[in-house]
Amino acid sequence: MTTAKPRVKPTSKPKAQRREETTARILDAAEALFARDGLHGVTLKAVAKEAGVDTALLHYYFDDKNRLFSTVFGRRAEVVNRARLDSLDRYEAEFGDDMTIRGAIDAFLRPLFVLFDGDPSWLNYAALVAQVNNTPVWGGDTMHQHFDPVIHRFIGVLQRISPETPDRQIYWFYHLLSGSLTLSLAQTGRIDTLSGGLCKSSEMVAICDAMETVFTGGFEAMRRA
């Protein structure tokens, strides 16, 4: 006679793990919607629907839309900043007084474009950063809070490489570099149309290569001005 095996009750996930997974799903949904529609074009109800949760849960986790947006923006900013700071630190430690403008630009930009290359979630975040950096009403404080330390680190490297270049010129250089960067992160598709498909706004590594060439030459021109 065969003895029936006892039924094994499915093990439920720990409460902390369930909350973590739900939070990640909410943040991913909110990130995609904010990237597409901006802060003011998104409602908590829309985020809840996209994430498959009740709106009350969003209020419980994040209080309001501004808190949700701040959490969404800060989540990946930490990863981006750590990657760029580590890259700049490695570059300066390895090359010291032999650093070049092109090398510094690469150390600052490359980690960003590698993260954003082809990953849909990171591409959503790239578009969101582009919106924030170009929206004075809610971009100034947000960018200042999350990105100023790594930007000042980059500027410090440029000042070490080229101490004869006036600080005013270096800050204008960064201003123009930032504008090109955020236009690229916005992935508008404009270059796709203009070039007849020869260039694509989704080609993050190619954009990084082109920016290095253009802005290395641009810095040298500003240094001589």
Could you read off the pLDDT of 47-104 as tens digits, one per residue? 999 999 999 999 999 989 989 998 999 999 999 999 999 999 999 999 999 999 999 9
pLDDT value at 210 more than 90: yes
Residue 119: name the closest of 76, 83, 152 by CA: 76
Pull the structure tokens for residue 95: 């090359």
Query: What average pLDDT does this structure show over 18-26?
Result: 88
Is-contact 146 71, C-beta < 8 A? no
Kindly report the length of the chain.
Answer: 225
Query: What average pLDDT does this structure show over 24-35?
Result: 92
Alpha-helical runs (H) found in 38-166? 44-51, 55-62, 65-95, 101-116, 120-133, 136-161
pLDDT-based confidence at 225, cuts 50/70/90?
confident
Residue 108: name the closest of 158, 69, 60, 144 by CA: 158
pLDDT tens for each residue of 104-130? 999 999 999 998 887 888 888 888 888
The CA-based angle 131-136-140, given to 5 degrees, is 90
Residue 69: name the closest of 42, 99, 101, 45 by CA: 42
